[in-house]
Chains A and B, each alone.
Chain A
Amino acid sequence: KLQLYGTGISQPTRAVQWLCEIAQIPYDFVQVNVAAARKKRADYIKNVNPNGRIPAIKDTNGLVIYEAAAILQYLCHRYAKTDLYPTDLKARAKIDEYLHWHHENTRMVTPAYVGMLMRVDVPFERWIKGTDVLKRRKALLYTLDIIETKRLGKQAYIAGDALSIADILCYEELVQLDVWNLLDEGTTLGFDGDGSRFMKRNYPNIYAWLLRMRGLSKHDEVHEVMVREMILKHVQYRQAAFTKALQKHHAKL
């Protein structure tokens, strides 16, 4: 069976896992904790991905691929998923365009908001300074505008009129804004909580698309990890603590 290396909180890992579920590709999920020191991941680094990053897959033919977008492309070829990654030149180009655009745009959600929620091993001050959090948050608003008006304002899915791997990759970043209410304040987290309400009010096209995506096969199973009570409490606690740290940082300047 295909081996998928990663962890449920990792957005790109979920993208690959969800594709496997939707396309009914049999796989084994192998937990790799990237927050652990490199020494603890020595096995993974030696035998699977020398970069140490997740996700990665090891196919039944022994081939190792990392970079979620490249894995999605590869699996669609391997398992003939031409519905999710068509061979038509233009349609494919538009999907590839989104897959590449994602890295420096939609992916911003994670270093702008999620990194400091999940990486308890890194002090807040380092996040604020080292990743220019405020700049990224500002940039994210442009990105959301583009997705709202230029993409989902004109078509039903991210890269065209049909569902593709672009949607799966994109969803894993944007769902965080929804269930964890990252852009706003509010204490009811989870699906259909304050975050969903915020998205519906401010980004109606994205919200409608989020609902469409929720309807896909195995959605709840793949995303269950995000709404476990322990995780929601953790997110809430860290959000409040980070907001305080940001205020302190501003006061110092």
Chain B
Amino acid sequence: PSQPTRAVIFLCELKGIAYELVKVSPALPRSKRKDYIENVNPTGKIPSLQDVDEALYLYEAPAIMTYIATKYKLHDLYPSADRDLKRRALIDQYLHWHHENTRKVTTGFIAPLLRADVKLEAWNPSSLQTERKLATYSLNIIEKQWLSAHRYIIDNDVSLADILCYEELIQMKRWNLIENAAEKYPNIFQWMQRMEQLPNHDKAHRIMARLDAFITKRMQQCQPLLSKL
């Protein structure tokens, strides 16, 4: 269910990079994740990467993605500075912008649904409203400024920016989180169709099917909270 984890998985599947997925659940109490927190990622968050050959532990999905792209010379998705500094800079710009913008789609719409371990009363409707406002602001920029001008986030070719962004926005489509999303964001929906055509897309996203029933149930359970927003 973790969007940033799926972004790394999608990248690996897309480019046929072999990886081993080690399950770590951030919902477990810190005491049960001691090993992970001590040795891999002190924040306890996911995803993290262990590159055994390089004796490297790395966290933060965008940093993992740029590392993989650099190591495996995936210049079409993330050009080296000598090849295309401008394109690379625009991709880095998006990867950073993502944290405090597109990511709000998850924090504003999905987080309360996914975290069954957190009581409904603990969610502050006022801060959720703020997150949702920011999510809408981001969606409008993606829809009206970027995808109205070119086929993908940065330009007319796929890049790491699309892969990272996709895992946030696909949730909107798959789980119907926002009313009339397809009418409000036609460019985004067309872009999502393009992304679905990428090699190994379905294989990389099979994992989402496991959540369908759970999300639907949670949306019903969370109705009292959601109706306050």
Beta-carbon nearest neighbor of B137 in chain A: A51
CA distance A90 to B67 in the complex (A): 8
Asked whether, in the complex, the Cβ of B99 is within 8 Å of the Cβ of A63, the reply is no
Stretch of B13-21, B126-134, B165-173, B204-212 at the chain-chain interface = B126-134
Q: How many residues of B contact A (CB 8 A)?
A: 34
Q: Is A70 an interface residue (CB 8 A)?
A: yes
Is A43 in the interface zone, CB < 8 Å from B?
Answer: no
Whether B43 pairs with A74 at a CB distance below 8 angstroms is no
Given contacts A130-B126, A132-B127, contact A99 B81 (CB under 8 A): no
* Interface: B179 (CB within 8 A): no
Bound together, the chains give a CA A65 to CA B86 distance in angstroms of: 9
Verify if B92 is at the interface (C-beta below 8 Å from A). Answer: yes
Q: Is A248 interfacial (CB 8 A cutoff)?
A: no
Cα of A94 to Cα of B59 in the assembled complex, Å: 9
Taken residue by residue from 183 to 220, chain B's Cβ proximity to chain A (1 for < 8 Å, 0 otherwise) reads as 00000000000000000000000000000000000000
The answer to whether A93 and B67 have CB atoms under 8 Å apart is: yes
From the candidates A50, A51, A70, A100, name the one contacting B63 in the complex (CB within 8 A). A100
List the B side residues contacting A103 at CB < 8 Å. 96, 99-100
Tally A residues with Cβ within 8 Å of B: 35
Residue of B nearest to A132 (CB): B127
Q: How far is the CA of A74 from the CA of B62 in the complex (A)?
A: 16
How many angstroms between the C-alpha atoms of A94 and B70 in the bound complex?
13
A97 and B130 within 8 A (CB): no
- A96 at the B interface (CB under 8 A): yes
Asked if residues B42 and A150 are in contact (CB atoms below 8 Å), the reply is yes
Q: Which residue on B lies nearest to A12, using beta carbons?
A: B96
Nearest-CB residue, chain B, relative to A63: B86
Contacting B96 at CB < 8 Å: which of A51, A69, A90, A132?
A69
Smallest CB-CB separation from A146: which chain B residue? B42
Contact pick for B124, options A94, A132, A142, CB 8 Å: A132
CB of A25, distance to nearest CB on chain B (Å):
15
A131 interface residue, CB < 8 Å from B? yes
A100-144 interface bits toward B, Cβ cutoff 8 Å, 1 = contact, 0 = none? 110111010000000000000000000001111001000000100
**A182, B67: Cα distance in complex, Å:** 36
B55 to chain A, nearest CB (A): 9
List chain A residues, Cβ under 8 A from B61: 100
Task: Determine whether the beta carbon of A100 is less than 8 Å from that of B60.
Answer: yes
Residue in A51, A90, A97, A142 whose CB lies within 8 Å of B54? A90
With A50-B145, A146-B43 already in contact, the answer to whether A100 and B62 are too (CB < 8 A) is: yes
Q: Are A104 and B81 in contact (CB under 8 A)?
A: no
Q: Separation in Å of the A74 CB from the closest CB of chain B?
A: 4
State in angstroms the CA–CA spacing of A94 and B56 once bound together: 9
Instruction: Write out the residue numbers on chain B whose beta carbons fall within 8 Å of the beta carbon of A89.
Output: 54, 67, 70-71
**Taking CB as reference atom, which chain A residue is nearest B85?**
A77
Residues of chain A within 8 A (CB-CB) of B60 are: 96-97, 100-101
A185 near B: Cβ within 8 Å? no
Q: Do B99 and A70 have beta carbons less than 8 Å apart?
A: no
Min CB gap B164→A, angstroms: 10
CB-contacts of B36-71 with A (<8 A): 42-43, 54, 56, 58-63, 66-67, 70-71
In the complex, the answer to whether A101 meets B59 with C-beta atoms within 8 Å is yes
A73 interfacial contact with B, CB 8 Å: yes
B 80-114 to A, binary, CB cutoff 8 A, 1 in contact else 0:
01000110111011011101100000000000000
Assembly CA distance A251 to B96 (angstroms): 39
Q: A69 vs B63: C-alpha distance in the bound complex, in angstroms?
A: 12
Instruction: Give the residues in chain A near B59, CB-CB below 8 Å.
Output: 97, 101
* B residues neighboring A (CB under 8 Å): 42-43, 54, 56, 58-63, 66-67, 70-71, 81, 85-86, 88-90, 92-93, 95-97, 99-100, 124, 126-127, 129-130, 141, 145
Besides A77-B85, A97-B58, 4 more A-B contacts (Cβ < 8 Å) are A67-B96, A100-B61, A130-B130, A146-B43
**Sample (16) of A-B pairs whose CB atoms are under 8 Å apart:** A50-B141, A70-B92, A70-B93, A77-B88, A78-B85, A89-B54, A89-B67, A93-B56, A93-B66, A93-B67, A97-B58, A100-B60, A101-B59, A129-B127, A130-B126, A135-B127
The 7 closest A-B pairs by CB, nearest first: A103-B99, A100-B60, A129-B126, A67-B96, A96-B63, A70-B92, A70-B93
